[in-house]
Structure 1
Amino acid sequence: MNRATLLLPILVLAIAGALSAIFIVDEREKALVLQFGQIKAVREDPGLYFKLPIIQEVVRYDDRILGLDVDPLEITPLDDRRLVVDAFARYRIVDVRQFRQAVGASGISLAENRIDTIMRAQTREVLGSVTSSEILSADRAGLAARIRDASRNEANSLGVEVIDVRLKRTDLPEQNLDATFARMRAEREREAADEVARGNEAAQRVRAQADRTKVELVSDAQRQAEIIRGEADARRNSIFAQAYGADPEFFDFYRSLAAYRQSLLAGNSTMIMAPDSEFFDYLKSTDVE
Structure 2
Amino acid sequence: MNKLLIGLGAVIAVLIVIASSSLFIVEQTQQAIVLFFGKPQETIREPGLYVKVPFAEEVVYYEKRVLDLDPPKERMILADQKRLDVDSYARYRIIDPLLFYQTTRRVSEVSGKLTPIINSSLRRVLGNETLLDILSGKRATIMVDIQKAVNDAVKRFGMEIVEVRVRRADYPDETRSNIENRMKSEREREAKEFRARGFEMAEGIRADAGKQKIVILAEAQKKAETLRGEGDSQAIKIYADAFNQDPEFFAFYRSMQAYRKSIGSEDTTLVISPNSDFFRFFGDITGKQATK
Q: Give secondary structure in 2 for the equivalent of 1:87.
A: strand
| Residues 1:255 and 2:257 are matched in the alignment | no
Give the gaps of 5 or more residues in structure 1.
Answer: none
Is the Cα contact below 8 Å between 1:25 and 1:43 reproduced in 2? no
Percentage of identical aligned residues: 27
Structure having the higher Rg: 2
Corresponding position of 1:150: 149
**1:168 offset after TM fit, Å?**
1.3
Per-residue CA deviations over 1:177-197 (Å, capped at 9, x if unaligned) read 555544443333333323333
TM-score under structure 2 length normalisation: 0.74
Structure 1 CA distance for aligned equivalents of residues 257 and 64 of structure 2: 120
| Residues 1:72 and 2:68 are matched in the alignment | no
* Structure 1 stretches of 4+ moved >6 Å: none
Task: Check 1:233–1:286 CA distance in 2 against 1; reply closer, same or farther (3 A cut).
Answer: closer
Give the gaps of 5 or more residues in structure 2.
Answer: 287-292
Which structure 2 residues correspond to residues 237-276 of structure 1 after superposition, within 5 A? 237-266=236-265, 270=268, 274-275=272-273
Task: Check 1:191–1:5 CA distance in 2 against 1; reply closer, same or farther (3 A cut).
Answer: same
Is the Cα contact below 8 Å between 1:136 and 1:170 reproduced in 2? no
Structure 2 CA distance for aligned equivalents of residues 80 and 108 of structure 1: 36
Per-residue CA deviations over 1:99-121 (Å, capped at 9, x if unaligned) read 5245332x223222121101221
| Residues 1:51 and 2:54 are matched in the alignment | no
Structure 1 CA distance for aligned equivalents of residues 276 and 143 of structure 2: 113
Which amino acid is the alignment partner of residue 157 of structure 1?
R
Q: Alignment partner for residue 25 of structure 2, among 23, 39, 45? A: 23
Q: Give secondary structure in 1 for the equivalent of 2:52.
A: coil
Which structure 2 residues correspond to residues 1-289 of structure 1 after superposition, within 5 A? 4-20=5-21, 21-26=23-28, 29-36=29-36, 37-43=39-45, 47-52=47-52, 54=54, 55-81=56-82, 83-97=83-97, 100-101=100-101, 103-105=103-105, 107-131=106-130, 133-134=131-132, 137-138=135-136, 141-142=139-140, 143-158=142-157, 159-174=159-174, 179-266=178-265, 270=268, 274-275=272-273, 277-282=276-281, 284-287=282-285
**1:98 offset after TM fit, Å?**
5.6
Task: Check 1:136–1:220 CA distance in 2 against 1; reply closer, same or farther (3 A cut).
Answer: farther
**1:16 offset after TM fit, Å?**
4.7
Q: Give secondary structure in 1 for the equivalent of 2:104.
A: helix
Which amino acid is the alignment partner of residue 168 of structure 1?
R
Structure 1 CA distance for aligned equivalents of residues 264 and 109 of structure 2: 119
**1:203 offset after TM fit, Å?**
3.3
Structure 2 CA distance for aligned equivalents of residues 98 and 210 of structure 1: 92
Structure 2 CA distance for aligned equivalents of residues 266 and 138 of structure 1: 94
